[in-house]
Structure 1
Amino acid sequence: MSPSLEKSRPTRTHWLITLYAGGGEFCDGYILSIIGVALPLITSDFDLGSTMSGLVGSATLIGMFVGGLVFGYVTDRVGRQKVYLFDIAAFIALSVAQYFAPDAWTLTLLRFAMGIAIGADFAIAGTIASEFAPRKSRGPLLVVMVTMWSVGAATAYVVGYLMLRSGMDDWRWMLASSAIPAALILLLRFGTPESPRWLMSQGRTDEARQVVRQMLGPDADLGDLEAETTTRTRYADIFQGVYLRRTIFVGTFWACQLLPIYAITTYEPTILTSLGLDHGDTAYLGSVALQIFYILGSLSGILFINKGRRPLLLWSFALSAVPLLVLSILADPGPAAVITLFAVFGLASFSSQCLQAIYPSELFPTGVRATANGFATGASRIGAAVGTWGAPVVLGHSTRLAMFLGALICGLGWLVSYRLAPETSGKSLAEASGDGSDVPPAGLSTVKELS
């Protein structure tokens, strides 16, 4: 049997493409999390109130809204490879520029521009990795890719903590430090081939054949690519027919995942301090420790992703709500209880993070795959930005109230997923993105598949 993209075993090229796409996720996690360490220093340096502090913290998320909406469509029009390099180059320039920000408004604008580049990378990373990945390995490969976000976030907290301990507690160096991993990833991404699925959709069959044969050998079969050939890229397509339902589902579940996660990770040291971890650097050490559980939670998706996308999502939302609800009830939890509950939240919520890349890539055809990824990125960041901007205000009133609101959002995510989440596990991209595959399993029986 001739090898094909859908039926092959993962090759070295598959892994390199996944890791290079994951390198962008690493930078995204680093950039979005280092602000959590730097923000108290920025607030003190510029004497910011809670509103302006929230704006600095959420500016990147607002930029991601714009970047996702615009560059997902651009990626479907001009190709994956060009945007894939451009956004990382922007990371480098903007990271360095933050060091020289003279005031809070300039820094906010730079963080907003950084968000545009991150939004572009979110739209392209999952798209290009999924379009190269074989059917059976797509889920595990994308789990690895998405886990790099958590690794980047953990690295940011470690770097920030070490800088605080070393006396280099200048937020300017913290924010500029993201230029280092971005430069490395840019060098690695040079030479990444264009997606053969996108090439086929543009009628560039010879180029697509050449890419596939370089990966899989001279006998590689293009049949599974021809089944998904389309030349149309129209933004309106993701709002028509069954794709409208999928667009609503992806944007909503993604927003419900991110709102509590971004609000917590951005203000994690502040939250931990308010819950009793207020001795010296205990709050920062707690933040670093929790990142380990976030990474483990993200990696745990490998165990469940091929058993069912839908049950993984439902279980993740259900279990994420529990520790937040407990934190909203306990009047005076001890440090051990706080760390334990946030660790459970991290394990549960991050276990389904891979679906943010998998579902948009599997539910939409090649002509609008990056467009859908970009729109979902942008739409989800509305909720995340609202949560990050509003978190200082709510935390200033009551940490317990903030935890209760987080639990409610997880509950909303579960309800939307129960009503709309389809099952795409085991399907080719052509099968999953077709018009007839959007029938979610009925009843709670699907939730039991992971137990």
Structure 2
Amino acid sequence: MSHVVDDAPLSSFHKKLALYSSGGPFVDGYILSIIGVAMIQITPHFNLTASEQGLIGAAALVGIFFGAFLGGWLTDKFGRHLLFTVDLIALVACSVAQAFVNDAFWLIILRLLIGFAVGADYPIATSLLAEFTPKKWRGPLLGAFVTMWFVGAAVAYIVGQFLLTFEDGWRWMLASSAVPALIIVLLRIGTPESPRWLVKVGRYDEATKVLKRVYGPNVTLADLPEEAGECVSVGQLLKSGYGKRMAFITIFWTCSIVPLFAVYAFGPAILEALKLGENLAHVGSAAITVMFLVGCLVAVFLVNRMGRRPLIIHSFLWSGLALLAMGLFPDADSWIIMTLFAAYAPLIGGTQIMQWVYPNELFPTEVRGSAVGLASSLSRIGAAVGTYLVPLALTTLGIGPTMIIAGIITLIGMAVSIVMAPETRGMTLGEAAALPGKTPAKASLSQRVAN
């Protein structure tokens, strides 16, 4: 079988697609981080209770829960191309609307809708990127996808600190997410449909045109790598052999993001509780964001060299130990606390990039978007609950027990990865998605075209 597509060199098309696709996590990181800074002004402005603070912080995560699953289902049913641009238009409108809210209720509703739009973008963008990218570059580019989350978070802290100097600066903070979202929408216009998806729905002529446009005039459908022969519907997904894979992805994803999202939503409050001064807490939040980005970049470098399985296990282990140390010694000197926080940030990077590598590699094209969306949705249940409980935990339990709980959750992710994490390094999408004992059917594509 030809390997023209899977072994293609990394082209300018692939680089642009990776950049445009990563716009979703950039906006997500921006939105989930800017709220942490904005809450400094929002809390006294609306006289918020700890419960209301938690609801505002968690609302976007709840929206992601619904949006990711629906977006995944829609992209499998109607294709990646159309939804790739449409889903972010709603995000622009809701972001601007946040500037005009006059009570906590409507702010929660708008954060919920924004999360819905962000969640829908994840399975759409990652499915499109995975299905175009050569196997050598699939892990690094999907891993690099999540690094933009931390770029967005870092930018949010910078913008937020500047706007804090203005009265009602929180309104401008929340509305500002419309700017990158609009830019991303404009850049994505003209992106072609996935040829793998076009083949799955029988649109062979269109698939051929896309292949020639992206890979060269001599490339045909015969050069498109085969995938697993069986067709798995969304309804059959959990009942089939893919149910175990869905369980693994959901559990490790949840264990990875529950502590991280809590840190981002209430980073300054957590650092202040660890007895850092207010100014140092805000500066520390921005510095730790940079360390998160560094960790993801290192993980992108290691994902092919180290392998998927060792990377995720070690990432969970050492980051979990850093959180436990913070919980056991909350009264340590400020430089020790900052060192431990700075250690957690880069060490968790391996689990962050695998959130997008594993789901896109372990499921076939016909349900890839739905599987990614479902896993993203299920993981957000724990993340939303965790984010909601952070201010309550800080008030009732204190910072030490709160950080110990975060460490235990992280180490649970390590244990699950030891038992369930597969190794997919060097595999084609078809090989990675095939269930154990089954291989991609080489003749199936030619037979479907002939029929």
TM-score, normalising length: structure 2: 0.93
Residue in structure 2 matched with residue 284 of structure 1 by the alignment:
282
Partners of 1:30 and 1:86 lie apart in 2 by 20
Residue in structure 1 matched with residue 181 of structure 2 by the alignment:
182
Name the aligned partner's letter for residue 325 of structure 2: V
Partners of 2:311 and 2:385 lie apart in 1 by 26
- 1:86, CA displacement in angstroms? 1.6
Residues 16 and 331 of structure 1, relative CA distance in 2, 3 Å threshold = closer
Q: Share of identical aligned residues, percent?
A: 43
Residue in structure 2 matched with residue 267 of structure 1 by the alignment:
266
- 1:33, CA displacement in angstroms? 1.0
Partners of 1:55 and 1:232 lie apart in 2 by 40
- 1:169, CA displacement in angstroms? 5.2
- 1:399, CA displacement in angstroms? 0.6
Over the residues paired in the alignment, what is the CA RMSD in angstroms? 1.7
Partners of 1:356 and 1:58 lie apart in 2 by 20
Mapped contact 1:231–1:367 kept (Cα < 8 A)? no
Mapped contact 2:228–2:433 kept (Cα < 8 A)? no
Larger deviation, residues 232-241 vs 423-432: 232-241
Residue in structure 2 matched with residue 74 of structure 1 by the alignment:
74
- Which residue of the other structure, out of 282, 285, 300, is the alignment partner of 2:298? 300
Partners of 1:224 and 1:430 lie apart in 2 by 13
Mapped contact 2:5–2:223 kept (Cα < 8 A)? yes
Taking the TM superposition and a 5 Å limit, the aligned residue runs for 1:369-380 are: 369-380=368-379
Deviations 1:351-408 (A, max 9, x none): 3311111111100000000000000110000010010000000011201111000011
Name the aligned partner's letter for residue 99 of structure 2: Y
Mapped contact 1:322–1:407 kept (Cα < 8 A)? yes
Mapped contact 2:88–2:181 kept (Cα < 8 A)? yes
Mapped contact 2:228–2:434 kept (Cα < 8 A)? no
Deviations 1:129-148 (A, max 9, x none): 11111001101111222111
- 1:231, CA displacement in angstroms? 9.9
Residue-pair matches, total: 436
Name the aligned partner's letter for residue 105 of structure 2: W
Classify the secondary structure of the residue corresponding to 1:400.
helix
Name the aligned partner's letter for residue 289 of structure 1: A
- 1:331, CA displacement in angstroms? 4.1
Matched, 1:45 2:31: no
Residue in structure 1 matched with residue 137 of structure 2 by the alignment:
137
Matched, 1:160 2:160: yes
Name the aligned partner's letter for residue 225 of structure 1: L
- 1:122, CA displacement in angstroms? 1.3
Mapped contact 2:424–2:432 kept (Cα < 8 A)? yes
- 1:432, CA displacement in angstroms? 0.5
Stretches of structure 2 that go unaligned for 5 or more consecutive residues are: 439-451
Residues 326 and 239 of structure 1, relative CA distance in 2, 3 Å threshold = same
Name the aligned partner's letter for residue 138 of structure 2: R
Residue in structure 2 matched with residue 449 of structure 1 by the alignment:
none
Partners of 1:347 and 1:339 lie apart in 2 by 13
Residue in structure 2 matched with residue 446 of structure 1 by the alignment:
none
Classify the secondary structure of the residue corresponding to 1:237.
coil
Taking the TM superposition and a 5 Å limit, the aligned residue runs for 1:39-438 are: 39-164=39-164, 166-167=165-166, 170-223=169-222, 225=224, 227-228=226-227, 234-279=233-278, 281-306=279-304, 307-397=306-396, 398-436=398-436
- 1:83, CA displacement in angstroms? 1.6
Mapped contact 1:3–1:221 kept (Cα < 8 A)? no
Partners of 2:361 and 2:117 lie apart in 1 by 23
- 1:229, CA displacement in angstroms? 7.8
Partners of 1:224 and 1:334 lie apart in 2 by 60
Larger deviation, residues 405-414 vs 428-437: 428-437
Partners of 2:255 and 2:5 lie apart in 1 by 33
Partners of 1:321 and 1:226 lie apart in 2 by 39
Residues 290 and 77 of structure 1, relative CA distance in 2, 3 Å threshold = same
Residues 229 and 425 of structure 1, relative CA distance in 2, 3 Å threshold = closer
Stretches of structure 1 that go unaligned for 5 or more consecutive residues are: 439-451
Classify the secondary structure of the residue corresponding to 2:82.
helix
TM-score, normalising length: structure 1: 0.93
Partners of 1:284 and 1:14 lie apart in 2 by 37
Mapped contact 1:202–1:230 kept (Cα < 8 A)? no
